[in-house]
Structure 1
Amino acid sequence: MALPRCGTGDGKSRAAGARRASPARRRRRTAQHGGRWYKRHLTYRVVNWPSYLPQHEVRLAVRAAFELWSNVSSLVFWEARDGPADIRLTFFHGDHNDGLNNAFDGPGGALAHAFFPRRGEAHFDSAERWSLHSGKGRNLFIVVAHEVGHTLGLEHSPVKSALMSPYYKKLSKDFVLSWDDILAIQNLYGKPSKGLAIQLPGKVFTHFQDWNTDFYDRDRQQRSLSTYYCHSFFDAITADGDHNLYIFKGSHYWVVSASGNASDPRPLQPRWPGLPAGIDACAWSQLSGKFYFFKGGRCWCYAGSKLEAGFPRKCSALGLPRHPDTALYFQQLRRLVLFKGPKYFVVSEEPLGVEPYYPRSLRDWAGLPPGTAGAVPHRHGSVYFFRDDQYWEFDQAKLQVVATGKWATQLAWMGCWDANSEQVLF
C-alpha cells in the first residue's frame, strides 16, 4: 500500500478524483469530461488547514499551486480570506457527506478528492501526515496542485511524468507541470495573456518557509514585469513623504511616482541589505523618515539603506504580533499601527513597542475588513487599505470606510492606468 494514486469518483458525486494507495499500477479509469469555467478570473479560499502546519506557509503553498496553472494559461486567481469563493479547499475527517466512496480513511489511504467545475471544491484528509517539505509526509503543495487541476476541469493524464497522472508525483529537479498538463489547461483556457508560459523546477517548492513568492524574476525576457503587481497579489505597500508608493512582492519592489508612473521591478537587497523576501507588512514613518518591515516573528528598521543598530528584533520581545497583516503610519496618532486579524496595535517608535491599552478591536476602524495586505495615506487625506483586488477608502475625519472598489482599474495613482489612452495597462 505504498503507492498513492488519485482514482476517479463516481458520476453521482462528480468527484474528479480521490488520491488512494494502491499495491500496483492499475488501468487508468477515465473520468467524465470535467467541463470548464466560463470566466478567467477566479477566487479561491482556504477554509481550514492542519493545525500542525503554519497558516502562512500553507497559504503560500496553495498560492503556488494556483500560480502553477495561471503561469501557463490565461487564468488569474485571487485569494478570498472569507466569504464566498469560486474554489474552496477544506480539510475533513472521515465521512463528510460526499458519499461513502469518498469518506477519508486516515493515514495511508485516500489523501484528497476534488470536484469539476462549477462546484469548485477540493477536500483533503485532515488525518494525513501533511508536509511542506520535500522528504517528510505527503507534500501538500503537490496534492493541492493536482486537485486544483481537477477543479479547473482537467482529467487524469496517461503521461507518467504529468502532474495530472493518477499517481502521486514527488518533487524533483524537473518541472512540476509536464507538456501534457500545459496542453490540457491551454486547450480549456488558452495561453497566457502576456508573454510565454513560465515553468519552474520542482526544487523551487521544497521549503515554503524560505519560499520566494515572486516566480517571475527568473524569466524577465519571457514576460513583462512592469505591471505584474497590477494583476496579481502583492505582499505589502507603503508611501514616503514625496507620495511615492513602494509596492512589495517576493524579492522585488516597485516604485510608483505621484504621477502614477510605475518603475520596473527592483531587487530588495541593494536597497535594503539583509531584508528577506516575502515580507508581511511595511510602513514608512513620517515622524522619523524610516522604513519598518515585518516578517514572521521579526522586524527591521532602515534609515535610508542602513539597517538600524539592534535590528532585526524579535516581535515577541516588543509586544508586537507575529505575521501582521498591515503596517501603517497614522498621522493623527503620530504612531505606527499594526493590523492583525480582528485587532490592531498602536506602536511607538522610540522605543519601538506597543502602547498601553492595546491591542483593540478592529471595530474602531468602522467598515474595515480583517486581513488587509497593506495601507497607504493618500495626499488627499484618506487612507487606502488593500486586500486582493479590492481597496477600502478610510476617511480620517469620519473614522469610517467611505468607499470601496477595484484598485487596479479605479485608482489611477496605483500605476496600472494609462492616462493618455484612458485604459488599464494589463
Structure 2
Amino acid sequence: MEAAAALCLALALALRALAQPAPGGRLQRGAAEMFLEKYGYFETPAPRMHSPAQFRAAVREFQWVTHLPVSGVLDASTVHQMSLPRCGVNDAESHTAWAKRVHAVFSGRRAKARRRRRFAQQSGKWYKRHLSYRIVNWPWYLPQHQVQLAVKAAFELWSNVSSLVFWEAQDGPADIRLTFFHGDHNDGLGNAFDGPGGALAHAFFPRRGEAHFDSDERWSLHSSKGRNLFIVAAHEIGHTLGLEHSPVKSALMSPYYKKLSKDFVLSWDDILAVQNLYGKPSKGSAVQLPGKVFAHFQDWSRTFPGGTQQQGRHVSYYCHSFFDAITVDADHNLYIFKGNHYWLVSKRGNATEPQPLQTRWAGLPAGIDAATWSEADGKFYFFKGGRCWRYKGSTMEAGFPQKCSASNLPRHPNAALYFQQLHHLVLFKGPKYYVDDQYWKFDQGKLQVVMTGKWATQLPWMGCWDVNSSQTLL
C-alpha cells in the first residue's frame, strides 16, 4: 500500500511540475513519459527512457486523441491537457477502435462483422441482455435516493439506445457493482486513486463488471458544482459494457469527461459502439435526451426522505447532505439554500419545513452558488454562474439579474458574506475547498481561524438536532 501511495504521489507531483519551467525540459519529458505509459501510448513499456522517436509518436497520438494540434512536441497546451482530471482507463485502443468504426460506416456488412468480432475478442461483452447492478456505497454527503436516481439515469442512457435492460439489486451479488474507494484498493499500483484531480474513476470490461470511484473527490449531483457523478458514472458504465475510449470530442466515452449541455449526452460514436455489441432497442427506436434534463438531480424529487424525527425534533433534509449557500439576516435568522428550496432557522436552532425559493424570491433560479444579506443596505444578494440578483425583502430590484462581470465579480463564486471591517460584500472563489461536513470559525478581530469542527453535530444553531449519535451523517 505504501508503494502504491508513493507511486501515485510521485506521478501527481511530476504532472504538477509539468507546468513549471525545467532546465532542458528533462523534468517535463520524464513526467510526460510516465503519463503516456500509464495511459497506453507506448506499444511496449521501457525500463528507462523511450527513444526520442517513440516519445514523439506517443505525444502525437495523445494530441490526436485529445484534439490538439498534432506536432509531437510537448508544448504548453499538451502539458495542460495531461494535467486535467480524466478516466483512469487507458487509451491504448482509442485510435484503432475509432478508425475501424468509421471505416465500417462506409464498408457495409462484412466490415461490421469484423468489427463485432474485434470487440468480443478485445474487451469482451455480456452474453445476456438483462443485467443487474448494485450501488455498494456512496459519498456520505449525497442523499442515497438521489444517488440512486443519478445512477439509474446513467444506465438508462445506454438501455435507451440498445437492447440492454438494467435493474438495481439492493444487496447480494450483481453483474455490475459501483463502489467508492480511497487510495490503493487492491486494483494494482496503476489503479490506486490519487485524491482530488487526476484519475476520477476507472472500470473493468465484461465480465468483471466493476466501476470504482475516488472517494476523495468532491462528487456532486449538480451540473456546475464539484465532479458530476451522473456523467462520470455513465462513462464508467460504458466501460463495464465493453466500450473503449473514443477520440470523438463530443462523445461520452472520451477519456476526458464531457460536460452537460443542451446537446445529447451520447454522441453518434457512443451509440454506434454500444449497438455494435448489443444491437438496437428491441422495441421502437433509440431514445436520446439532452444534457439539460440531467443537470440537477437534487430537483428530480420534491419529497425529502432525509427529514426524520429524533428526540422529538425534526431533523431537516439539508442536515444529511451538503447545501448550496447560507446567510443570516439582521434578526439572526439563518437561511439555508439547497436546490429550489430554502430553510429558515431561528436563532434557537429551530428549522422550518422546506420552502420553495419562488414563493419568497420570485425569479431566483434553483441551485444558487452563493447568497448573502448585506448589513450595509439590508438587501439580499444571490449569485449563480455569471449572473447576480439583488432583492429588497422579496422584491427584485430594477436592473437585476445582471452580469457579475459588470462589477468585476467572478463566475460561480464559492461563498459570499458581508465583512464588517471592510463594510463590503466579500466573495470567495479559489482552487481549493474543504469537505462539507466541516466548519471554520473566523475571528474578525484577529483575522484568523480559531476553531473548526463538524457543523451538523457541533453547531446547534444549524437546526440539526442530534442528527447522528454515531458521528456519521449517512
1:396 deviates by 1.6
Q: Going by fraction, where is helix more abundant, 1 or 2? A: 2
Q: Is the 8 A contact 1:129 1:138 kept in 2?
A: no
Mapping of residues 210-249 of structure 1, within 5 Å:
211-212=295-296, 214-215=298-299, 217-219=301-303, 224=307, 227-249=316-338
Distance 2:331 2:180 in 1: 33
1:407 deviates by 1.5
The corresponding residue for 1:366 is none
Q: Is the 8 A contact 2:150 2:297 kept in 1?
A: no
Q: Is the 8 A contact 1:409 1:424 kept in 2?
A: no
Match of 1:29 among 98, 102, 125: 125
The corresponding residue for 1:135 is 264
Distance 1:125 1:424 in 2: 34
Q: Is the 8 A contact 1:131 1:137 kept in 2?
A: no
The corresponding residue for 2:255 is 125
Q: Secondary structure at the match of 1:413?
A: helix
C-alpha RMSD of matched pairs (Å) = 5.3
Q: Is the 8 A contact 1:134 1:207 kept in 2?
A: no
Mapping of residues 74-223 of structure 1, within 5 Å:
85-86=214-215, 104=245, 106-107=247-248, 112=253, 124-126=254-256, 132-135=261-264, 138=267, 171-172=288-289, 206-207=292-293, 211-212=295-296, 214-215=298-299, 217-219=301-303
The corresponding residue for 1:296 is 385
% of aligned pairs identical?
48
1:269 deviates by 0.7
Counting matched residue pairs gives 278
1:224 deviates by 4.0
1:39 deviates by 6.0
Q: Is the 8 A contact 2:375 2:418 kept in 1?
A: yes
Change (3 A) 1:425 1:391: closer
The corresponding residue for 2:370 is 281
Q: Which amino acid aligns with 2:292?
A: T
TM-score, with length taken from structure 2: 0.46
Q: Which amino acid aligns with 2:455?
A: W
Q: Secondary structure at the match of 2:456?
A: helix
Change (3 A) 1:109 1:311: closer
1:315 aligns with 2:404: yes
TM-score, with length taken from structure 1: 0.50
The corresponding residue for 1:68 is 150
Change (3 A) 1:77 1:136: closer
Mapping of residues 50-69 of structure 1, within 5 Å:
68-69=150-151
Match of 2:361 among 272, 275, 278: 272
The corresponding residue for 1:407 is 455
Per mean C-alpha deviation after superposition, the further-off stretch among 267-276 and 21-30 is 21-30
Q: Secondary structure at the match of 1:248?
A: strand
Structure with the greater alpha carbon radius of gyration: 2
Summarize deviations over 1:96-120 as a string: whole Å, max 9, x none: xxxxx998562299964xxxxxxxx
Instruction: Point out where structure 2 has 5 or more consecutive residues left out of the alignment.
Output: 1-87, 102-111, 154-167, 172-177, 182-194, 201-213, 218-226, 233-241, 272-277, 309-314
1:416 deviates by 1.2
1:252 deviates by 0.7
Q: Which amino acid aligns with 1:125?
A: P
1:305 deviates by 0.6
1:287 deviates by 2.1
Q: Is the 8 A contact 1:391 1:407 kept in 2?
A: yes
Summarize deviations over 1:144-188 as a string: whole Å, max 9, x none: xxxxxxxxxxxxxx9998xxxxxxx8545xxxxxxxxxxxxxxxx
Q: Which amino acid aligns with 2:302?
A: R
Instruction: Point out where structure 1 has 5 or more consecutive residues left out of the alignment.
Output: 1-13, 45-63, 92-100, 113-123, 144-157, 162-168, 173-202, 343-369, 373-386
Q: Which amino acid aligns with 1:416?
A: C
Q: Which amino acid aligns with 1:250?
A: G
